[in-house]
Amino acid sequence: MTLAHKTPITPLDNAFTPEGGKQLPAPLKSLRDIRSKAITGMALPNRRTENWKYSSRYLKLDPELAPLTQATGNADYRSVEGTYRLVIRNGVVDLESSSLPTGDGIDIRRFADLDDVTAQGVAKKLDTTLDHGTTQMAALNTARLEDGILIRLSADTSVDKPVYIQYVTDAGTSGSNYPRLMIEAGQGSKMTLVEEFISNGDQPVLVDSVSELLLDDSANITYIRLCMDPVNVRHIGATGVRIGANAKLDSHCIGFGGDLRRHDLQVRLEGQGGYTRLNGIALTQDRQHYDNHTAIDHVVPNCDSDENYRCLAADRSHAIFNGRIHIHPDAQQSHADMNNKNLLLSTNAEIDTKPELEIYADDVTCAHGATVGQLDEESLFYLTSRGIDRDTAATMLSMAFVHELVGQVPLEDIREAVNTRLTDFIEASFRRASE
């Protein structure tokens, strides 16, 4: 934890009272209490906190952001065809609105519904996927835990359709919520998980979400994270993943900017033959912010990682990418490839990109590249010379920039929905700018 003694410290716990968690089974309640104590006096990340350097200025925890769990509006429970649905509203699991997979080997329960033995097991595993030195706000999630969902797949279980989790925030009044997900994928199990964050209402709201994925040997998880909250939602999210031998995580994180957007994705390759692909797209416009921090730990030999993040920043917005690859001393024969390409759509936008490589093994390949560019004028000219207006042409070229990554989103329906939403978002930005 970085403490900046010379600047006035805003303690994390000071923002609002830590009451709650009464529904939780004893082991989880007790973990909550421990975290609450631990963050007492802990500083809110500020500009001297290295991993919040570019983002702390967007982080404001006002008293009005006290935890809010009551539904205040009509949530948009759009069901997505061909998927199971799980609704988490203001951090609280809404089983009535959900339609969950059933069957042998699939165990899905709210934290509140866990028996003590299971809760004990979950409490031991919670918070084990994330580096606490860099995810201060994840500790706040545990300290404010109200509810959570556990998805357990036993060995060789495949879930036949994607599990689509909708995190709905009612932003009719200001407040904050703390959704929590824990996935334990047993040996050789397989599932596709979609996390979509949405919101209704226009009041300032903080969402502090944590998702933890534990992949046992040969497990295979496809993870699609859609951060689609409106601007008034300040979203701090963390996804922690531990990957066992020959297991695989295929991750696609796609999001729009807002008053504050932060996603920490931390993946540990802990068994030989593990593989992860991390794709990401972040779009910002107006005065929005988006900060992607990823960390891949190659802990053991013979694992591969491929990372490809792209950001587009328009208007006066600010996008940040920080990609850390840590190859541990034992992790010989690691192959890590990290690529971050960025597109500045306006000279007033800001993009900060920083690869961080820590390589302690000698027999590895580790490639990385980061670029910041602008739309190609000759391409724009070519398109407009065929009668296409400049805004449409610029939108087409911006979408071309993320085309490859969108094309890799595994589910056609989701891929098309993503494509449409990205196109609309970018086009709106160009149209506004040229008005």
Q: How far apart are the first and last CA of the chain?
A: 46
392 lies in the site for other proteins, by CB under 8 A? yes
397 lies in the site for other proteins, by CB under 8 A? yes
16 lies in the site for other proteins, by CB under 8 A? no
Query: CB-based contacts of 165: which residues, under 8 Å, 6+ apart?
Result: 85, 86, 87, 88, 149, 181, 193, 194, 195, 196
Smallest distance, other proteins to C-beta of residue 387, A: 4
Smallest distance, other proteins to C-beta of residue 378, A: 5
Q: Which of 17, 74, 400, 432 binds other proteins (CB under 8 A)?
A: 400
| Interface segment toward other proteins; rule CB under 8 A; list 234-242, 248-256, 337-345, 387-395 | 387-395
424 lies in the site for other proteins, by CB under 8 A? no
Question: Which of 264, 254, 265 is closest to 402 using CA atoms?
Answer: 254
Report the helix count and the strand count for the chain, using DSSP H and E. Answer: 6, 20
Please check whether residue 236 is in contact with residue 206, taking contact to mean a CB–CB distance below 8 angstroms: yes
Q: What is the DSSP letter of 385?
A: T
| Interface segment toward other proteins; rule CB under 8 A; list 52-60, 153-161, 350-358, 371-379 | 371-379
CB environment 273-302: b (16+ within 10 A), e (fewer): bbbbbbbbbbbbbebbbbbbbbbbbbbbbb
Question: Which of 153, 319, 127, 146 is closest to 227 using CA atoms?
Answer: 319
Smallest distance, other proteins to C-beta of residue 426, A: 13
Please, which residue, 360 or 382, has the CB nearer to other proteins? 382
Please, which residue, 190 or 415, has the CB nearer to other proteins? 415
382 lies in the site for other proteins, by CB under 8 A? yes
103 lies in the site for other proteins, by CB under 8 A? no
SS3 of residue 383 by DSSP: helix
Helix spans in 128-172 (H)? 136-143
381 lies in the site for other proteins, by CB under 8 A? yes
Please check whether residue 223 is in contact with residue 213, taking contact to mean a CB–CB distance below 8 angstroms: yes
Question: Which of 384, 371, 385, 372 is closest to 345 using CA atoms?
Answer: 372
| Interface segment toward other proteins; rule CB under 8 A; list 132-140, 155-163, 307-315, 392-400 | 392-400
Q: Which of 399, 417, 428, 433 binds other proteins (CB under 8 A)?
A: 399
Query: CB-based contacts of 74: which residues, under 8 Å, 6+ apart?
Result: 200
| Interface segment toward other proteins; rule CB under 8 A; list 78-86, 112-120, 149-157, 393-401 | 393-401
Copy the structure tokens of residue 147. Answer: 């509810």
413 lies in the site for other proteins, by CB under 8 A? no
Q: Which of 9, 372, 383, 433 binds other proteins (CB under 8 A)?
A: 383
Please, which residue, 23 or 384, has the CB nearer to other proteins? 384
416 lies in the site for other proteins, by CB under 8 A? no
Q: Say how far apart CA 420 and CA 433 lie, in whole Å.
A: 20
Q: What are phi and psi of 228, to 5 degrees?
A: -115, 20
Please check whether residue 51 is in contact with residue 134, taking contact to mean a CB–CB distance below 8 angstroms: yes
387 lies in the site for other proteins, by CB under 8 A? yes
Smallest distance, other proteins to C-beta of residue 339, A: 15
193 lies in the site for other proteins, by CB under 8 A? no
Chain residues in the site for other proteins (CB under 8 A): 376, 378-379, 381-390, 392, 396-397, 399-404
